[in-house]
């Protein structure tokens, strides 16, 4: 009996977080240890990471972020249930607590995720190969309502 061929996908997330981390991720990709990356489009090194992904033809997905740093969407200019008074995301536990308390406006989540997808396409010139969530935001109730639509059109999987 022949066994089906199995393909192991090893994705390095937080690509775009900082240049030093990105160097290590690219090194792991070139060594064959990592097979894809997930780009944090609001990371301080997102632009240089996107350039590295293009240069090395690294399969790249969107690392959707609702917990760390600043937003890329409309929330960056307005008061938002996703942000602290200082304009930063609420943090891993802060976001979870606000979501559980019903203090997160889900339309604002959708807006931010759509803005991150748009930023991804702007940086890389194509749709992501996949979408996953920073700090496991994708497993939280209500945050991933439009995920299939966000990943659609790129041929990517979940």
Residues carrying an active site annotation? 13
Give the residue from 53, 59, 67, 71 showing the smallest Cα distance to 116. Answer: 71
């Amino acid at each position: 009996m022949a066994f089906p061929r199995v393909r192991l996908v090893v994705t390095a997330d937080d690509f775009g977080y900082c240049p030093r981390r990105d160097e290590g991720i690219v090194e792991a990709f070139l060594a064959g240890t990592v097979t894809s990356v997930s780009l944090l489009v609001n990371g301080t090194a997102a632009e240089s990471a996107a350039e590295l992904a293009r240069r090395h033809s690294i399969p790249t997905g969107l690392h959707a972020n609702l917990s760390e740093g600043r937003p890329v969407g409309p929330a960056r200019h307005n008061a938002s249930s996703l942000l602290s008074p200082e304009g930063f995301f609420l943090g891993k536990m802060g976001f979870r607590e606000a979501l559980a308390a019903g203090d997160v406006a889900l339309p604002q989540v959708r807006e931010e995720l759509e803005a991150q997808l748009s930023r991804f396409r702007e940086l890389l010139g194509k749709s992501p190969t996949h979408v996953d969530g920073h700090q496991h935001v994708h497993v939280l109730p209500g945050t991933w309502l439009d995920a299939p639509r966000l990943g659609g059109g790129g041929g990517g999987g979940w």
